[in-house]
Every structure is written in C-alpha cells, then in structure tokens.
Structure 1
C-alpha cells in the first residue's frame, strides 16, 4: 500500500460509496470506522491488511 496520496485520489479511493454504506450502516463507533477501512483496503489491494499499520494514516483521519 502506498504511503503518499494526492487529495483527489484519497477521496476517490477511501470514501465509502452507496454500496459500501449498505454493509457499514449496522456498525457503530470505532467498529464502523474499522470495518469501513478494512472494506476500502480490500477494494484497493484485493486482500485484508496484515496489521493496522498497513492502512495509510491519511485514510484514517
């Protein structure tokens, strides 16, 4: 996973879209954010992260 992201790429890749919200909506709090990040990571990389540091910090904030 790359560490540097342009703002438009970051928004386009890491923002949940309508189909994502169907999966995310029944989660709450930190579980929702964690699930959303795992989902988007999977969409980008085709796998789940081995550990949390693999997810770019800019995607979390």
Structure 2
C-alpha cells in the first residue's frame, strides 16, 4: 500500500465511522490504534497487515488523530501475537 494519500483519500478510506469508533472505544487505550489500523487496512486490502510497516504513515497519523493516540503506538502493538490474533477474530466476526 505504498502510495501518497491525499487528505480527501485519507478521509474517505481511513476515517472511522460512528459504529467503528464505538467498538474501538470499548478496547483498552493501548490497543485502540492497532485495532483501528487493522480494521481499516483489512477493509482496503482484504487482508490483515503483518506489521506497522504496512500502515501508510499518513494513515497512521490520521487514525491517531481521530483516536487521540500517538502514532508510535502502532510500533508497540502486538501484530502477530495474542492481541493481534484476537483483533483478527473480532474484525472477522464483526464483518459477517
């Protein structure tokens, strides 16, 4: 997903809707940004990201601004561990 994102594209593809925000806000603060990044990436790419490196910088900042979370949290998120796998299941179940 290496590309330059315009503000309009960020708003269209990486903005969180009310229902998404409600689900994300039920997560612990430390997990919110990673959950949001996995959700939006999956919606766009049809798969889950393997690491923070797959999340475009502009998209990570855009999500962080919406959740009032520092983008550095993406690099601390457990992408392939227990929390990451739990997030995959929740997003998959939610999308059904």
TM-score interval, normalised by the smaller of the two chains: 0.7 to 0.9
Structure 2: gaps (5+ residues): 62-96
Residues in 1 aligned to 2:3 and 2:51: alpha-carbon distance in whole angstroms: 15
Structure 1, gaps ≥5 residues long: none
1:25 aligns with 25
**Alignment partners' CA distance in 2, 1:24 and 1:58:** 20
Larger Rg: 2
CA distance in 2, matches of 1:51, 1:60: 12
Q: What secondary structure is seen at the aligned counterpart in 1 of 2:32?
A: helix
Q: Distance in 2 between matches of 1:42 and 1:13?
A: 11
Q: How many residues were matched structurally?
A: 61
Offset, 1:38:
0.6
**CA-atom RMSD, angstroms?**
1.3
TM-score where L is the length of structure 1: 0.85
State the shift of 1:14 in Å: 0.5
Deviation at 1:7, TM superposition (A): 0.9
- Name the structure, 1 or 2, with higher relative contact order (CA <8 Å, separation 6+): 1
